Amino acid sequence: MSQPRALANIRVVDFSWVRAGPWATRWLGALGADIIKIEWPENERGRLPSTTTPQTLEVNLNTSGNFADTNVNKKSLSLNVRTAKGLEIVKRLIAISDLVIENFSSRVLQNWGLGYQELCNIKPDIVYVSMSGYGHTGRHHHYTTFGPVAQAVSGLTYISGLPDKPPAGWGWSYMNDTGGMYGAMCALTGLYHRNMTGRGQHIDLSQMVASVPLVGPALLDYTVNGRGTFRAGYPPGNRAHWPGTPLVNNYRGPTVAPHNAYRTSPGEYNDWCVIVCHSDDEWQRLVEVMDAPSWAASPKFATVIGRLQHQQELDEQIEAWSMTLGKYELTERCQAAGIRAMPVQSAEDRVEHDPQLRYREMYLPIEHPALGTYKVQNAPFKLSETPASNHLPSPLIGQHTQEIVEGLLGYSHEELRAGFADGTFWPTKRARFPYMEEMLR
Amino acid sequence: MNPPESLPGPLAGLRILELVDETGQFCGKLLGDLGADVVKIEPPGGEHSRRIGPFLDDIPDPERSLSFWYYNTSKRGITLNLETTDGRQLFLRLAIAADVIVETFRPGVLTSLGLGYESLSKENPRLIMCALTPFGQTGPWRDYASSDLLHMAAGGQMASCGYDESDVPNAPPIAPGGGNAWHMGCHFAYIAIMAALVSRSVSGQGQYIDTSIHEACALTTESAIANYIYRGEVLRRQTGRHHAAGPTPRTQFRAKDGNYVCALVAGRLNPRYIGQLADLLDSYGMAGDLKDAKYQDPAVIAANTSHIIDDLVASFIASLPAEEVYHAAQQRGFTWGAVRAPEVLLDDPHLHDRGFWKEVEHPELGRSFIYPGEAAIFNGSPWRISRRAPLIGEHNTEIFCDELGLSRAELAVLIENRVI
């Protein structure tokens, strides 16, 4: 790697687990920070259970595909922080680090003796980002979240779905991904502030609270206009407005039609496209792309109000046409004419069929010591001078224990061996992986 | 702990120029709420995003868009027509002193105006310029048109969201609302800008950043990509819960008041959990047979999963209001939540404890309104809204006269000529 890295010389002590925290440090690692992931196999969450292990491999701590994608660009130190010796070692590591980040529930680090005041005693300008479900402040700080719970409690689940149906919500932990984004955002903001002022701080991030600003305009419609979202026609599915209900903005953009998902050929599970017309002009261009069918010439479709009033018929007619085309062909025809259209893309579509993601090298292979060679996801931003990259595969658990303990912290090889023997670096009753035996030679 | 109000935010001292439509304004809000001096540059007459509703008292007006209000807090606002020579010259003077420019023009537009990064950075090598566009600056889709819905389709969100066939037959894939494609793009743009700023704080050098909203969305579907890459699986949509390769038990239950509760039960059913669940249900007299000793046998639990979830848990939740289930469960350590309409959050005491809601003054209206606040509490440099969104050209005099030294008469001429 010849180019300099944005976060060169930044060291991160990463206690995070499951998804949101690791997703945050993944990006700090891609930007060049040295991420040291502190793990302990007896209470590991993220590597196991795994539903993403390749069918040909045994499920174990090193074979989760999702963990591998979530934890590129990191090193792993297996360490029992709940012992005096383990705590002493992690304090030595913190003393030479810039950032401590964790996503445990709210009192865990404090109970370990690693609360913010103690972190400051160890490293006065430390930046500490805690990413608990409800934050460290507030009466419900002890409540816990997974992504779906943060989404439910914050209103994000409610705003997804068809009217008069149960909420469709989000089909994954959007707030693990996005909570991770906020973790990385807070970490970088804290590091920048420290570089400019010499002062660290504690950043008390909450996954649940971070969800709430994502429903901002709906909240303002309530606090300013007194209009809640508990109303007829809301949420309006993929439409900007649900036919037959009052014309009220749905907080996604302009109220227009067409604005919907339509089936495409050959009608399989993910054969759908979306089409949106933001103006009469865009609509007329769509009419031309559809070969100017007679139904589309009706004056009732000539205006946006007309198209909204007759949206059901409009959508049925558009779908009769969209069913004649594949979703990529439809997209290209529409976009060539300046019409907003896109295919609904599954993961397979994105990895295999999306020409833009392929051109931008979104998925590039990396070799992993236990999994083999698989594609991992790349950054959505290209920095001209300090590009992000996936330069390290996800670590095996404890893979870098020797490198960190002896190389970075300066303990002797005998001390490493003693730590394995007394359960500091690996549970004494648990079988060691072959690479650990190598370390102990 | 909340920091003293007098402290500056973590980005104090940074000057950001924002040249964005509705796709990029959240990034500027984040920068501004975190303390940067964000100057929003709009075309004369105001940016198009002022026309997106809802509007104050439902009266459409570019100064009354609540969407614009929300996404443009803590910014100052000026107007400038970059298609005029005078406008470009004034912009160059601002760019020389700027730390960061965020822009959402179509690829090539700023360069064609002579305002590309190459020319700006010659005068200001510390400049960081972040382009945030639907598909990035390169590639076959770079000039394609987009919208929030389009990104949710192409990015993979819709392929993962929807309904069980038994809930809504023939349901389409669903794009969650709220304009989250723009949020996803802006989160990554913010990360890229901050990385460049941290780098510059050491190297002194700025750089150019090409951020793609499509890629940001494509990255935001948790394990969907890994399921495909490592196992070849394409996941199915399910009502109110995770996509999955095969059907999984439901996690969303209707409460007595018609609201729903998200109760993550499946996958956690071991004897210890059953004991706690029995206690929770029993405290409302709803334990059914769950206290029976047979449930200490994992095999019995496995054979009765449907009974436990679809009969006992579902009946328990159906007997109580959603908020009561939520708090009763959380107080006993269950990671459950009420599915709330956004407005319910105004009554959440936890958010009040965190000082989350902010009263933002709109002096021209003689009113103030409650805004959602910040995701995190910074104890040494507060994240907070400093002011309401700017009126059109509100800070023209401050920036063009007080800062760049134009006379009031010159400003008047430039406004007459639709430069400002």
pTM: 0.98
Position B276, amino acid? Q
Helix boundaries (H) for B128-268: 148-154, 157-160, 180-203, 213-218, 224-231
Fold of A11-213+360-440: Rossmann fold (3.40.50)
Portion of chain A with pLDDT greater than 70, in percent: 100
Using a CB–CB cutoff of 8 Å, tell me whether B62 touches chain A.
no
Is there a contact between A272 and B172 if contact means CB atoms under 8 Å apart? yes
pLDDT of residue A43: 86
Apex CA B184: angle with CA B180 and CA B185, to 5°? Answer: 115
Nearest to B340 among A153, A213, A375 (CB): A153
Residue pair A15/A101 in contact (Cβ under 8 Å)? The answer is yes
Q: Dump pLDDT digits (tens) for A191-231.
A: 999 999 999 999 999 999 999 999 999 999 999 999 999 99
pLDDT of residue B3: 62
Choosing among A304, A356, A368, which should be mutated to test the B contact, i.e. which has the most B CBs within 10 A? A356
pLDDT of residue A49: 83
Q: How far apart are CA A378 and CA A365, in angstroms?
A: 10
What is the residue-averaged pLDDT of chain A? 97
Q: Dump pLDDT digits (tens) for A51-103.
A: 999 999 999 999 999 999 999 999 999 999 999 999 999 999 999 999 999 99
The total of other beta-carbon atoms located within 10 Å of residue A62's CB is 25
| Backbone region of residue B114 per phi and psi (left: phi > 0; alpha: psi in -120 to 50; beta: other values) | left
Portion of chain A with pLDDT greater than 90, in percent: 98
Is B179 exposed, middle or buried, given 0-12, 13-18 or 19+ CB atoms closer than 10 A?
buried
DSSP β-ladder status, B208-212 and A381-383: antiparallel
Mean pLDDT over A163-172 rounds to 97
Q: From the CA of A96, how many Å to the nearest CA of chain B?
A: 18
SS3 B38: strand
Using a CB–CB cutoff of 8 Å, tell me whether B60 touches chain A.
no
SS3 B287: coil
Using a CB–CB cutoff of 8 Å, tell me whether B182 touches chain A.
no
Nearest to A138 among B158, B326, B354 (CB): B354
Interface of B with A in 101-130 (CB under 8 A): 117, 130
Is A243 exposed, middle or buried, given 0-12, 13-18 or 19+ CB atoms closer than 10 A?
middle
pLDDT of residue A298: 97
Is there a contact between B150 and A274 if contact means CB atoms under 8 Å apart? yes
Residue pair A386/A5 in contact (Cβ under 8 Å)? The answer is yes
Query: What are the boundaries of each domain within chain A?
Result: 11-213+360-440, 238-263+272-343
Mean pLDDT over A153-160 rounds to 98
Is there a contact between A349 and B138 if contact means CB atoms under 8 Å apart? no
pLDDT of residue A3: 82
Position A337, amino acid? A
CATH architecture of B15-220+351-416: 3-Layer(aba) Sandwich (3.40)
Mean pLDDT over A18-44 rounds to 96
Q: How far apart are CA A337 and CA A352, in angstroms?
A: 25
- Six token digits for residue B300: 């019995």
Mean pLDDT over A377-391 rounds to 98
Q: How confident is the model at residue A265 (pLDDT cuts 50, 70, 90)?
A: very high
How many CA atoms are closer than 13 Å to the CA of A286, on its beta-carbon side? 29
Model ipTM value: 0.98
Give the residue from B229, B209, B232, B335 showing the smallest Cα distance to B276: B335
Is there a contact between B146 and A340 if contact means CB atoms under 8 Å apart? yes
Is B83 exposed, middle or buried, given 0-12, 13-18 or 19+ CB atoms closer than 10 A?
exposed
Using a CB–CB cutoff of 8 Å, tell me whether A306 touches chain B.
no
Residues of B in contact with A27 (CB under 8 A): 191
Query: What are the boundaries of each domain within chain B?
Result: 15-220+351-416, 260-339
Is there a contact between A148 and B251 if contact means CB atoms under 8 Å apart? yes
* Strand runs labelled E in A306-359: 340-343
Choosing among B334, B378, B388, which should be mutated to test the A contact, i.e. which has the most A CBs within 10 A? B378
- Six token digits for residue B221: 């579907």
Q: How far is CA B393 from CA B28, B157, B389, in A?
A: 17, 37, 11
Interface of A with B in 333-352 (CB under 8 A): 335, 338-351
Position A215, amino acid? V
Mean pLDDT by 10 residues, chain B (420 residues): 77 98 98 98 97 96 98 98 97 98 98 98 98 98 98 98 97 97 98 98 98 98 97 97 96 98 92 96 96 94 95 98 98 97 97 98 98 97 97 98 98 96
Give the CATH H-level superfamily of domain A238-263+272-343.
formyl-coa transferase, domain 3 (3.30.1540.10)
Residue pair B186/B27 in contact (Cβ under 8 Å)? The answer is yes
Q: From the CA of A287, how many Å to the nearest CA of chain B?
A: 17
